[in-house]
Amino acid sequence: MKAYIAGKLCKDSEIEFLEKIAEMCEKLGIETFLPHRDVGICKGMKDVKRIFKGDIIDGFKGCKIIIAVLDGLHVGAGTSWELGYAYAKGITAIGIKTDEPVEEALDYLSAVLVGSMKFVTSLEELEKELKKLI
The Cα-based distances of 89 to 69, 86, 105 in angstroms read: 19, 5, 26
Backbone phi and psi for residue 68, each to the nearest 5 degrees, phi listed first:
-120, 125
Domain ranges of the chain: 2-133
pLDDT tens, 19-58? 999 999 999 999 999 999 999 999 999 999 999 999 999 9
Residue 108 has pLDDT above 90, yes or no: no
pTM of the model: 0.96
Report the 10 Å Cβ neighbour count for 41: 11
pLDDT tens, 52-97? 999 999 999 999 999 999 999 889 999 999 999 999 999 999 999 9
CATH architecture of structural domain 2-133: 3-Layer(aba) Sandwich (3.40)
Distance CA 62, CA 119 (A): 22
**What angle, rounded to 10 degrees, do the helices at 123-133 and 12-27 form?**
40
Report the 10 Å Cβ neighbour count for 111: 9
What confidence score (pLDDT) does residue 1 get? 96
Distance CA 40, CA 14 (A): 15
Residue 128 has pLDDT above 90, yes or no: yes
3-state secondary structure the chain: CEEEEECCCCCHHHHHHHHHHHHHHHHCCCEEECHHHHCCCCCCHHHHHHHHHHHHHHCCCCEEEEEEECCCCCCCHHHHHHHHHHHHCCCEEEEECCCCCHHHHHHHHCHHHHHCCEEECCHHHHHHHHHHHC
